Amino acid sequence: MQSAITELIQNPSVFTKLREEIHLNVGSDNRPAKESDVPNLPFLQAVVKETLRILINAYAIMRDSNPWDKPDEFMPERFLSAKSPDGVDNIDQHPTVLDFKGDQDFHYLPFGSGRRACVGASHGLVVTLSTIGINDSAMLRPGIERC
């Protein structure tokens, strides 16, 4: 969670995009997101996945430049597919979110893989992080520089 907040503070354009998606799909009344909101929050899901990619202890796996373009940059968009399942280009309207499973040749493993994968992978972090996205306090104040 701390890593997600740190990355959002250091990447204000990502934080702004996340907040806009949350306000559009959850509302701006500061209610916590529900699990039923998650399918409508593809960028939030991508932010969570990107945070886990850079946070996981398997540094060498998820920072390898062979499978990952610019592996040391925080780029949630890498987890959004430009094509819908039927092959239509839809990155701007309703991007398809790539899943948490370690099915990318095991280059992304924040929740393990296979039978022993975490059963709560799609719930906890997404709902929690969406709550952060509705809060203005994670923004850098004017005059404070990023790390």
Kindly tell me if the per-residue pLDDT of 84 is higher than 80: no
Does residue 98 form part of some domain?
yes
Q: How many CB atoms lie within 10 A of CB 89?
A: 10
Q: How far apart are CA 141 and CA 144, in angstroms?
A: 6
The range of the structural domain enclosing residue 96 comes to 2-138
Kindly tell me if the per-residue pLDDT of 102 is higher than 60: no
The tokens for 119 are 């059963």
Does residue 22 form part of some domain?
yes
Q: Looking at the DSSP assignment, which residues form a beta bridge with residue 89?
A: 83
Q: Which of 19-23, 61-65, 70-74, 123-127 has the lowest mean pLDDT?
A: 123-127
Does residue 146 form part of some domain?
no
pLDDT at 107: 62
The tokens for 29 are 């009344």
pLDDT at 43: 93
Question: Over the stretch 92-101, which tens digit does the pLDDT of each residue have?
Answer: 555 666 555 5
Residue 90 phi, psi (nearest 5): -145, 30
| 3-class state of residue 83 by DSSP | strand
Mean pLDDT (whole number) for 53-75: 78
pLDDT at 14: 93
Question: Over the stretch 9-55, which tens digit does the pLDDT of each residue have?
Answer: 899 999 999 989 988 988 877 777 788 888 899 999 899 888 877 76
pLDDT at 140: 58
Does residue 58 form part of some domain?
yes
Q: What is the dihedral of CA 48, 108, 59, 8, to 10 degrees?
A: -20
**Tokens 């399942």 -> residue:** 85
Type of residue numbered 80 = L
Kindly tell me if the per-residue pLDDT of 61 is higher than 90: no
Number of domains in the chain: 1
Does residue 95 form part of some domain?
yes
Does residue 120 form part of some domain?
yes
Does residue 7 form part of some domain?
yes
Does residue 122 form part of some domain?
yes
